[in-house]
Amino acid sequence: MRKLVTLLGLLCLCSCASQQQAVTMQELADRVAIHEVMQKYVWTVDSLDADGYVSVFTEDAEIDSNGTVMKGHEAIRKVVTGMQASQAKNRAEGKPPGALHHVISNEKISFQGPADATYQSYWQTMRKGTDNRYTAGGFGTSEDHLVKRDGKWLIKSRKLVVFTD
């Protein structure tokens, strides 16, 4: 009887460990997926891919950039189309286009639930100036709230704080 109780105890421990390992594997997969969404966000804005850019946001997403708020895909798309227009104007005037290159660091992902996460990071943008040298265009922090819909992670809200001091 004692052996049976010991065996049942060991089976319970193995089962709990297996369930914990499954949760851990799912969290790792979610972390990778969130990281890929955030990298797609950066690469699509830097390459002026408006369709790719809006594809990482929920339909009702919101971006708050130092108090300037954009809501929904149409408004969010204007971030990239505005940059496209600005760069085209600069080129037409013989100026450097002013293309941005984002540098992201100190990333942190935390989960509030199985389909709800927060991504935080520092960011800076670099751009080529009229003297052909790269300078920092801006620096700050971001906090993104992501949701998992139909198995896909998307940005629900994005808050950017631009350091001005």
127 is a domain residue: yes
pLDDT in tens, 133-164: 888 889 999 999 999 999 999 999 999 999 98
17 is a domain residue: no
What CA–CA distance (Å, rounded) separates 16 from 21? 9
The pTM for the full model equals 0.83
**Residue 33, domain CATH:** 3.10.450.50
Residue 86 — pLDDT band, cuts 50, 70, 90?
Answer: very high
Domain with 141, as residue range(s), is 22-162
